[in-house]
Amino acid sequence: NAGVMQNPRHLVRRRGQEARLRCSPMKGHSHVYWYRQLPEEGLKFMVYLQKENIIDESGMPKERFSAEFPKEGPSILRIQQVVRGDSAAYFCASSPTGQWMNTEAFFGQGTRLTVV
Amino acid sequence: TQLLEQSPQFLSIQEGENLTVYCNSSSVFSSLQWYRQEPGEGPVLLVTVVTGGEVKKLKRLTFQFGDARKDSSLHITAAQPGDTGLYLCAGVRNNQGGKLIFGQGTELSVKP
pLDDT digits (tens, 9 = 90+) for A20-56: 999 999 998 889 999 999 877 789 999 999 988 999 9
Chain A environment of B103 (Cβ under 8 Å): 42
Which region, left, alpha or beta, applies to residue A73 given φ > 0 means left and ψ of -120 to 50 means alpha?
left
Mean pLDDT computed over every residue of chain A: 91
C-alpha B45/C-alpha B60 separation (Å) is: 16
CB contact under 8 A, A40 and B30: no
- Which residue does chain A place closest to B5, by CA atoms? A42
Percent of chain A with pLDDT over 70: 94
CB contact under 8 A, B30 and A101: yes
Shortest CB distance from A31 goes to which of B40, B50, B98?
B98
- Which residue does chain B place closest to A103, by CA atoms? B48
Catalogue the long-range contacts made by B59-63 (C-beta closer than 8 Å, 24 or more residues apart).
B63/B34
Tell me, what's the pLDDT at A39? 77
B50 touches chain A (CB under 8 A): yes
CB contact under 8 A, B45 and A104: yes
* B86 to chain A, closest Cα gap in Å: 10
- Residue B100: pLDDT band by 50, 70, 90 thresholds? confident
Query: Hey, what amino acid is at B3?
Result: L
Residue from B21, B94, B100, B101 whose CB has the most chain A CBs within 10 Å, to mutate: B100
B45 touches chain A (CB under 8 A): yes
C-alpha B77/C-alpha B4 separation (Å) is: 24
Mean pLDDT along residues A91-110: 81
Using CA atoms in the order B46, B52, B57, B60, what is the torsion angle rounded to 10 degrees?
80
B7 touches chain A (CB under 8 A): no
